[in-house]
A and B are shown apart, each in its own frame.
Chain A
Amino acid sequence: MSFESDLLVWLPYLRRYARALTGDSAWADDLVQDTMERALNKWRWRVDGNLRAWLFTLLRHRFIDQLRARREVVMEDGTDLPAPGGEVSGLLLRDVQQALYRLPLEQREVLLLVALEELSYQEVAGILNVPVGTVMSRLSRARERMRVLLSADADLAHARPVLKVVKDAP
């Protein structure tokens, strides 16, 4: 079916975004699995439009649902992802990763949708269901915060513990 093959095109992007958003590859895989199932079951009711944006919207809704069932705990580095080596444009990837997970979630998701997924402000506003102006404000704050975190000395960067969202103990 053509919808399903269209879906497969966006699967790698969904997975990448889910990993970046959660900082947790197992959770990300659950999230993508859930999202794809939702998409397969709901696509008949979907109004025509941007499939990719719709998939990201579904994923975000699943993410927010699952957040409620989890709780934050203090973690050293904010992510389960392996610490990356190397640097890009003079930025140590390890530092960028840590800074990213120090962002408030609402800033991180906007930054990732724009900088990683290269979606337009309009598309992001649709996914988050907020005005474009809000997207721009959050994005601006996210980038500036990243800049400050990456420019600051180590003491400042580690001034407060990182919160990591994990599954609630049963």
Chain B
Amino acid sequence: MTQRQSPSALSLEPGDDLRPLSALVDGELSESERQAIEETLRSHPAHADKVAHYREQSRAIKALFPLPADVPSLFIRRRVPWWRWAGVAAACLVLGLALGWMLPALMMTEPAFARRADLAYVTYAPEQRHPVEVVAADQLHLVQWLSKRLNRPFVVPSLQEYGYTLVGGRLLPGESGPAALLMYQNATAERLTLYVTAASQSELDIKVLRHGAHRTVYWASRGMGYAVSGQGDEASLRELAADVCVALGGSVSQWQSRG
């Protein structure tokens, strides 16, 4: 490969196949082959000398290159190929760009039904002449109507113990189908709304959406999203929401464990 062929002075005698001699030295022959070669060597002393010389060469080569004892000092790096670094860098860049673009959306972690509930409160709670479509006096009709449109039994929870009475309800377009909005009012004309709709999250622990002076407390249970919106302090609203949740067949055990 890197050197020219040997000068003619070093060539072997032509016609002699010396490969079996090496095979003998290296133990690459079968037993019968070995016996045959050794038999031949007895009558060919020149070849026997070659075999002896080959064996000496092997011993000398092993003596020249003993196994190094200082091997453990070798430092092995685990090299990462450039394309893998490039891939990671590109992925980071893409991720960074995507995050930068999507971050405003990601920050709005509340579900769509909670935002719609909040908006419904803002829209209808100040309404004096038409706060509801169906008034409380017609409660039976209201319950049947909303049950039908929400496609599930609907209960109007009582908030009397909190001083709130039902004003009535209305149907709104929700994120994934119709939404029911119930409105309550207390003696000082403060209003509460309860928003109910089908939700994409089947279960959702209670959370609070804070906008200005009002709060929307929302949760999801068995595929339905609920939101209670109102003025006043958050703790009272949460307490009220817990009662509403139970009244609507949900469980507040997880809420209460959080105090």
| Min CB gap A61→B, angstroms | 14
Chain A interface secondary structure, helix, strand, loop or mixed? helix
Interface size on B, residues (CB 8 A): 45
Q: Which of B90-114 contact A (CB under 8 A)?
A: none
Complex CA distance for A146 and B63, rounded to whole angstroms: 16
A66 within 8 A of B: no
Closest CB in chain B relative to A72 CB, distance in Å:
6
Report A35 CB to chain B, min CB distance, Å.
10
B28 CB to closest chain A CB (Å) equals 5
Interface size on A, residues (CB 8 A): 59
Contact between B2 and A143, CB atoms less than 8 A apart:
no
- Of B23, B25, B64, most buried by chain A (CB within 10 Å of CB) is B64
Q: Are A40 and B78 in contact (CB under 8 A)?
A: yes
Q: Which of A41-75 contact B (CB under 8 A)?
A: 41, 67, 72
Q: Which residue of chain B is the closest to A34 with respect to CB atoms?
A: B79
**A41→B74 CA distance, assembly (Å):** 17
Most buried by A among B6, B7, B66: B6
Q: Is A140 in contact with B3, judged by CB distance below 8 angstroms?
A: no
Chain A proximity mask over B56-100: 1 for CB below 8 Å, otherwise 0:
111111111111110100111111110000000000000000000
Residues in A neighbouring B28, C-beta threshold 8 A: 120-121
A17 vs B163: C-alpha distance in the bound complex, in angstroms?
A: 92
Pairwise interchain contact A36-B74, C-beta atoms closer than 8 A: yes
Docked complex Cα distance between A120 and B26 (Å)? 8
Cβ-neighbour of A91 out of B2, B9, B57, B74 (below 8 A):
B57
A163: which of B2, B12, B57, B58 is its contact (CB, 8 Å)? B2
Residues of chain A contacted by B210 (CB below 8 angstroms) = none
Residues in B lying within 8 Å of A, measured CB to CB: 1-3, 5-7, 9-10, 12, 17-19, 21-23, 25-26, 28, 50, 53-69, 71, 74-81
Apart from A40-B79, A144-B50: 9 A-B pairs, beta carbons within 8 A: A20-B61, A33-B76, A36-B76, A37-B78, A86-B63, A121-B23, A139-B22, A148-B12, A151-B53
The 8 residue pairs across chains A and B that have the minimum distance between CB atoms: A89-B56, A115-B58, A96-B60, A88-B60, A136-B19, A105-B1, A140-B19, A20-B65
